[in-house]
Structure formats: C-alpha cells, structure tokens
Chain A
C-alpha cells in the first residue's frame, strides 16, 4: 500500500511515495517506546515521593546557558511548582503518547522538557560525550512525533479528530496527532 507524502522543502515540491503499512508500524512503535520512557520517569518520581528538583534547577545548573531561567525556580513556590510539574508533566506526556491522545501537545511539551535536560545534563557534564547526546535525540524524536501526527494510528486522536468539538474548532487539531 503505497501513498504519496505531499511535502515541500526550500520552496520545492519534494513529495515522495512511501509504503504506508510500515509507516504506521513505525509511528506506533516509536510512540510507545518514547511514551513509556516518559511515563516510567514520571511514575518513578511519584512512587518515590517527595521529588526534589533543587539539584536540577539550582547548583551546577545555575552556570549553564539556561541557568538564568532555571535559578528562578530554585526555591520557594516556584521550586514546589517544579517538583510537581516535572513528574506530572512526564507522566501526562508519557500517557498521551502511549494512548495517542493530544499527541502533538504531549510531544511539544516532551521536546520542551528535553531542551532543559539536554543543556543542563550536557553542560554540567562538560559535554564529555560530545554535543549529540541521547537527550538531543529524544528531543528530535518528540519533534518527529509532533510533525508526523502519530496519534491517529491506533490512538485516541483518531476518534478526537472526528468529534464535533474538533470539527467546530479546527485549531484544536494542532494539539491532536
């Protein structure tokens, strides 16, 4: 089953045919593995509650490129917010990807979180394994999942896309797969 991917690059039509059956297989596998990665990370923190992110938003992280932003969250109510939002965000992102619900929104926030992990882990470790790290690749996979709208393959987004709410408010489709 070959389908044409209609796409453009640098103003040129670079549409290409692709075997759709394998594309669906790949999207689901990628969604499930990346989803489990984040769901596990989130649940782990809840199971070992309380979670303390002060090491991540303060300390060595203060010297990184994102330090000026991160230190704002290193104490008080913003630290409490971070302590809840990191595990909650990871859990919801993971769940969203696994069940394919609000997939693009989940993938966007996955990439958002990975940006912090990438720079803080990389810079505090002196980029000792180079600048292409697992964190950067994770970020790129989230971007790929958002781009391909992977939630409509065996996902709840396939149902959400057909609801009256989404038909009446088409901009909601930016958030679903």
Chain B
C-alpha cells in the first residue's frame, strides 16, 4: 500500500475532482438553477445551459489529462518487489 507523492496526489485528486465538477457538480447546478430539461420526440434533451458546454468539456478534459499524466508517469515509479501484488 504505497503512499502518494504530492504530484500523484494533485493528478489523482485534481483529475477526479475536475471530472466530478464537470459531471456531478455542474449537472447539479443545471438542475437546481438552470432551465428544465425536456426530452424531445427524438429522445434528445432540449435545454439552455447555465455553464457553456465548451467550458464543461474543457473542465472534464483537464481532469482526464491529469489522470492520463498520473498513469503515464507512474511507469517511472518502482513497483513493489512482490510479484503477487
């Protein structure tokens, strides 16, 4: 059970936090303070957003980039010597 370095903590908590803001956080804000989300006859959600979708996309992309950076840089870390874990 290895301890996280500061950089790993930033990548994991920062990445997960941004993804949660992009999905859950902004989603909750849209429900509480935004316009209703009616579903059209074609099954599409028709609504005006409080937070522009490009901003939401960018927040989520930054979160995924931090996760990717964590995964890519973890290769440099020496894994435990026990091959059963």
* Interface residue ranges, A against B (CB under 8 Å): 6-8, 10, 13, 15, 64-66, 108, 111-112, 115, 119, 122-123, 126-132, 136, 139, 143, 146, 161-162, 166-167, 170-171, 173-175
Contacts and interface: CB of A to CB of B under 8 A. Distances in A.
Interface of B: 1, 3-4, 13, 22-23, 27, 43-45, 53-54, 56-58, 60-61, 64, 67-68, 71, 74-79, 81, 83-84
20 contacts: A6-B1, A8-B1, A8-B4, A65-B61, A66-B61, A123-B57, A127-B53, A130-B27, A130-B45, A131-B56, A132-B23, A139-B64, A143-B67, A146-B71, A170-B79, A170-B81, A171-B76, A171-B78, A173-B83, A175-B75
Contacts of A146: 71
Given A162-B83, A167-B83, A173-B79, A119 B53 contact: no
B8 to A, nearest CB: 12
A140 to B, nearest CB: 9
Contacts of A175: 75
3 pairs of A and B residues whose beta carbons are closest in the complex: A128-B44, A65-B57, A6-B1
B57 A122 contact: yes
B23 A131 contact: yes
Given A115-B64, A166-B83, A65 B54 contact: yes
B83 A161 contact: yes
Given A131-B27, A174-B74, A65 B79 contact: no
